[in-house]
Amino acid sequence: MDKKTKIKIAATASVIILVLAAFAVFNRKGQDKKTAGDKPGTPEAAVFTVETSIAGRGDITDYIRINGDVKAVRSIDIYPDTAGKLKVLNISIGSYVKNNQVIAEIDPSKPGLSYALSPVRSTISGTVTAIPYEAGATVSVSTPVATIGDLSMLQIEAEIAEPDIAKIEMGTKGEVFFAAWPEKKYGAHIVEISPVLNSITRTMGIKLEFDKNYPEIKAGMFASVKLLTETRKNVIFVSSETIVTRGGVKNVFSASEGKAVMKRVETGITVDGFTEILSGISEGEEIITRGQNLLDDGVEINILGRRS
């Protein structure tokens, strides 16, 4: 092969190499452009749907709920002066008797011996609430013939648990409810506190008197009582469910310009689903009440509804 032919072959080979290189570069740029075009854009920030309410101001009262029984302030068991057969019974349940009235007669006679009937007299004026025995029964001097109570004055006898003892005192107010009138409440107050604790039940006995006479209330009724132990007046409070605890710190989320703002709060007493706020938010702030457990400070929110 002569020199001229070699030069032609070399030149042709160089052209082919240049074409292939140019094609490779062009193809790489096309692939890069295609890849860049396939990249997803930056994801939009998540928007959380929430509900809100306004932080209110008012009074909040803590209480202890207990149960008790309505009883007469004065209730006396009447005993006979002698043992024998209950010959005559002059009363019935609900009868009103006067002091010194004969309510029964006892026949103290024994086989072969006959004695005059011995009268049993009431020692107070009041209403007969119990008659343990019927005429013909044999009674002793330790057997009550009847129980008589002064139903013009009623009280509630109840027990309070040991942890709550420090929360009450003489005169502590109470609200009383009865099954017969579930929507009506009656005023009462503590008039007696037992000086000792029941070591078995770990409770202490208390008595409450009604603030006035309520004719519809009867001895023997079952009473549900709310003892009002502490009242905080004119305080800010929120629904307890709005409070979110993170890292041992209590927070609420407020709504501001479409974002959730996490605020650390100090709380007071909690009563019936509402919590007193001592510091951290102001009256009238819009507080997130639903969806708050999913939030972080500064996230975008969409307010679906506002509670009263």
Q: Sketch the domain layout of the chain as residue ranges.
A: 1-41, 49-58+233-307, 63-69+153-232, 80-144
The pLDDT value recorded for residue 13 is 52
pLDDT digits (tens, 9 = 90+) for 33-67: 444 444 455 456 688 899 999 888 999 999 999 99
Range 87-112 average pLDDT: 93
* Residue at 146: amino acid letter: A
Architecture of domain 63-69+153-232: Beta Barrel (2.40)
Whole-prediction pTM:
0.66
Query: What topology is assigned to 49-58+233-307 in CATH?
Result: 2.40.420
Q: Is a pLDDT exceeding 90 seen at residue 111? A: no
Average pLDDT, the chain: 86
pLDDT digits (tens, 9 = 90+) for 152-167: 889 999 999 999 999 9
Q: Is a pLDDT exceeding 60 seen at residue 1? A: no
pLDDT digits (tens, 9 = 90+) for 247-306: 899 999 999 989 999 999 999 999 999 999 999 999 989 999 998 898 999 999 988 887
Strand order through the sheet with 84-89:
118-121, 102-107, 84-89, 138-139
Strands 126-130 and 146-161, sheet pairing = antiparallel
Residue 36's SS3 state is: helix
Q: Evaluate whether 63-69+153-232 and 80-144 have a shared fold.
A: no
pLDDT digits (tens, 9 = 90+) for 182-222: 999 999 999 999 999 999 999 999 999 999 989 899 888 99
Asked whether the beta carbons of 202 and 237 are under 8 A apart, the reply is no
Q: For domain 80-144, give its CATH number from 3.30.1600.10, 3.10.350.10, 1.25.10.10, 2.40.50.100.
A: 2.40.50.100
